[in-house]
């Protein structure tokens, strides 16, 4: 029993072993067949997709399995466009900038991303690549976006931003005042440097994906001028502050130290801070101060030659100041002495334009009266004509014969001749000049002038126009006329041994005519009204009248009563 049992046991074991071996062979054959098939698939896949991304790869959450390079480029462009809406801010003390990530020059490094995506499953040993290929069926392999910076974009963005200049440096300066110098201390400026912003951005990009909020410090911009230079320039300015004698022509005036100081500024030049005289204050300031030293404008001296108006102006008026006055003032302040200031013409044309604008061009009013030759009264007529000849009456000006000539005295060349005094014919120095008054009265009447003061003779004398004449005595009665035109008027007189003529030269303005005359009684005196019509350039008409009152006879008043003889 024991022997049999052992044989049986051996028989079962061999048979079972053979069976197990057979089964194992089949299993191994199947495994190797499957493995071969998988390897064949892997090899076939590698061959077929040599230029594609392996399965199970994502880029920024996008499945890129099987993407070729062009597909991946298209995805990169789409992702790059998304940076247009990703904000990017820059902050510094006193400065801020808001832009977008793309505008700041941040871009997706497409080549790096593509390289990373394409390398998955294609690096290492064949076994590593095979394992990676198999892993793609179980899990996704994420490729993160990688970013880079174009520094030129952010540099330009900040550099063109005016706000980057947080504060301009304020150079030290000073300006003169009436009490001293007002000093401006130095104030450093501040600026956000584009290079600092670029560096901060590059660091942020290296640290992670957008959005980015950059913080930088501003850079101090120091002033060019030091405090020591300010003190030195201020001391120099104080030394320049002195009283300056100024000469204009042959006249001298003084410019106070306070005024000189008010012209000085501390200004920054290539040489640093220096005291300068500001020409824009010096030139008008000194001209105003020395205006009284200007020459008076020369009055034209008119002459009538063959009926034509001629004139001379004499030496043109000059005033302070000509070119270079600021340098002269500075040199005088530095060295002392007298500032001999250049002059310039008060009128650039020497006064020609002023005279021509006066409008003295032609006769607008003229009258002649006659008298007996060679009487003493003729001397007085000629004398007053000589004194008045060439007098100019400006627009709106009142001309009084008595105020201009003054009392008629022998010292002035007048002699004794016949006069009417209190209704009596008598004699006095200056007698006969009423003939000049009547002649000028009539010239003024037809020139359209206004009469401010006049009086007729108290006894009518036949050599004068009836009712249109005037007399003179000093201080009253007077003959005073007003030039009511926009042009100046030249009084020109001429005479012969038997006549006196007064001409008024100007530019025609009024059209004048005598429109009538009317006589009436005032008690026993005769009142004569002479009517005049003046037509202005605008067509408006002015009607007025002059009058004369005549006594009934010599030595009688308007009631016919005798008047005592003067001095009798």
Tell me what the mean pLDDT of segment 133-144 comes to: 68
Between 32-41, 164-173, 262-271, the lowest mean confidence (pLDDT) is in 32-41
- pLDDT: is 114 or 199 the higher one? 199
Per-residue confidence (pLDDT) for residue 391, from 0 to 100: 97
- Whether residue 558 is predicted with pLDDT greater than 50 in this model: the reply is yes
Per-residue confidence (pLDDT) for residue 562, from 0 to 100: 87
The β-bridge partners of 392 are: 490
- Whether residue 266 is predicted with pLDDT greater than 50 in this model: the reply is yes
Look up tokens 């067949």; give the residue.
Answer: 33
Look up tokens 């008010």; give the residue.
Answer: 262
Q: What angle do CA 499, 502, 503 make, to 5 degrees?
A: 135
- pLDDT: is 83 or 454 the higher one? 454
Quick count: other Cβ atoms within 10 Å of Cβ 192? Answer: 25
> What kind of fold does domain 228-350 have according to CATH?
Ubiquitin-like (UB roll) (3.10.20)
Per-residue confidence (pLDDT) for residue 319, from 0 to 100: 93
372-428 per-position pLDDT tens digit: 998 999 999 999 999 999 999 999 999 999 999 999 999 999 998 877 777 677 888
Contact 223, 199 (CB under 8 A): no
- Whether residue 150 is predicted with pLDDT greater than 50 in this model: the reply is yes
Closest-CA residue to 519 (of 455, 466, 480, 476): 466
Between 108-117, 255-264, 299-308, 511-520, the lowest mean confidence (pLDDT) is in 108-117
Closest-CA residue to 502 (of 447, 545, 432): 447
5-33 per-position pLDDT tens digit: 444 555 556 666 676 776 766 766 676 65
- Whether residue 365 is predicted with pLDDT greater than 80 in this model: the reply is yes
Separation CA 562–CA 68 (nearest Å): 144
Starting at the edge strand found earlier in the chain, the sheet holding 511-522 runs 511-522, 525-535, 541-550
Kindly give the residue spans of alpha helices, DSSP state H, lying in 479-551.
none
216-247 per-position pLDDT tens digit: 999 999 988 888 899 999 999 999 999 999 99
For residue 547, what are the CA distances in angstroms to 396, 493, 506?
23, 25, 26
Separation CA 324–CA 332 (nearest Å): 13
Tokens of 301: 């001296």
Separation CA 85–CA 106 (nearest Å): 12
Per-residue confidence (pLDDT) for residue 104, from 0 to 100: 93
Between 58-72, 337-351, 458-472, 488-502, the lowest mean confidence (pLDDT) is in 58-72
Per-residue confidence (pLDDT) for residue 419, from 0 to 100: 79
- Whether residue 254 is predicted with pLDDT greater than 80 in this model: the reply is yes
Per-residue confidence (pLDDT) for residue 556, from 0 to 100: 86
Separation CA 324–CA 321 (nearest Å): 9
DSSP 376-443: HHHHHHHHHHHHHTT-EE-TT-EEEHHHHH-S--GGGT--EEEEEETTEEEEEETTTTHHHHHHHHHH
Tokens of 182: 């007002």
Average predicted confidence (pLDDT) for the chain: 88
Between 12-26, 140-154, 547-561, the lowest mean confidence (pLDDT) is in 12-26
Look up tokens 């408006």; give the residue.
Answer: 540
Quick count: other Cβ atoms within 10 Å of Cβ 345? Answer: 14
- Whether residue 3 is predicted with pLDDT greater than 50 in this model: the reply is no
Provide, rounded to the nearest whole percent, the portion of the chain with pLDDT above 70: 88
- Whether residue 141 is predicted with pLDDT greater than 70 in this model: the reply is yes
Contact 502, 491 (CB under 8 A): yes
């Amino acid at each position: 029993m024991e022997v049999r049992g052992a044989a049986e046991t051996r028989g079962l074991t061999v048979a079972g072993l053979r069976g197990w071996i057979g089964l194992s062979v089949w299993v191994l054959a199947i495994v190797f067949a499957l493995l071969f098939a998988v390897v064949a698939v892997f090899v076939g896949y590698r061959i077929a997709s040599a230029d594609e991304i392996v399965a199970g790869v994502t880029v920024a959450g996008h499945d890129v399995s099987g993407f070729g390079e062009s597909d991946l480029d298209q995805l990169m462009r789409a992702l790059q466009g998304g940076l247009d809406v990703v904000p990017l801010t820059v902050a510094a003390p006193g400065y801020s900038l808001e832009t977008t990530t793309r505008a700041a020059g941040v871009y997706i490094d497409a080549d790096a991303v593509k390289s990373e995506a394409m390398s998955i499953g294609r690096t290492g040993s064949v076994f590593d690549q095979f394992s990676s290929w198999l892993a793609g069926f179980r899990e996704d392999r994420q490729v993160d976006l990688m970013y880079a910076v174009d520094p030129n974009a952010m540099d330009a963005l900040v550099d063109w931003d005016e706000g980057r200049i947080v504060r301009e440096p304020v150079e030290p300066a000073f300006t003169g005042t009436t009490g001293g110098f007002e000093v401006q201390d130095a104030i450093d400026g501040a600026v956000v440097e584009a290079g600092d912003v670029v560096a901060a951005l590059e660091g942020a990009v290296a640290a992670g994906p957008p959005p980015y909020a950059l913080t930088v410090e501003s850079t101090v911009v120091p002033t060019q001028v030091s405090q020591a230079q300010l003190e030195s320039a201020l001391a120099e300015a104080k030394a320049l502050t002195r009283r300056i004698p100024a000469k204009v022509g042959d006249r001298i005036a003084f410019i106070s130290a306070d005024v000189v100081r008010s012209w000085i500024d501390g200004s920054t030049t290539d040489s640093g801070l220096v005291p300068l005289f500001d020409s824009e204050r010096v030139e008008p300031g000194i001209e105003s101060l020395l205006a009284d030293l200007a020459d008076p404008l020369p009055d034209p001296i008119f002459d009538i030659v063959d009926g034509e108006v001629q004139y001379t102006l004499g030496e043109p008026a000059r005033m302070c100041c000509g070119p270079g006055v600021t340098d002269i003032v500075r040199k005088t302040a530095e060295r002392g002495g007298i500032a001999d200031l250049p002059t310039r013409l008060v009128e650039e044309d020497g006064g020609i334009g002023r005279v021509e604008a006066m409008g003295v061009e032609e006769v607008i009013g003229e009258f002649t009266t006659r008298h007996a030759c060679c009487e003493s009264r003729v001397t007085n007529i000629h004398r007053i004509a000589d004194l008045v000849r060439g007098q100019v009456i400006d627009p709106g000006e009142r001309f009084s014969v008595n105020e201009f000539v003054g009392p008629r005295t022998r010292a002035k060349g007048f002699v004794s001749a016949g006069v009417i005094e209190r209704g009596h014919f008598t004699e006095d120095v200056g007698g006969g000049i009423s003939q000049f008054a009547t002649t000028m009265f009539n010239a003024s009447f037809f020139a359209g002038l206004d009469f401010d003061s006049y009086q007729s003779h108290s006894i009518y004398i036949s050599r004068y126009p009836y009712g249109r004449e005037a007399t003179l005595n000093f201080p009253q009665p007077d003959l005073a006329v007003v030039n009511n035109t926009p042009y100046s008027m030249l009084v020109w007189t001429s005479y012969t041994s038997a006549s006196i003529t007064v001409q008024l030269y100007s530019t025609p303005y009024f059209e004048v005519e005598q429109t009538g005359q009317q006589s009436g009684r005032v008690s026993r005196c005769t009142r004569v009204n002479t009517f005049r019509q003046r037509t202005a350039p605008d067509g408006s008409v002015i009607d007025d009248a002059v009058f004369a009152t005549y006594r009934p006879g010599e030595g009688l008043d308007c009631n016919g009563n005798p008047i005592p003889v003067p001095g009798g």
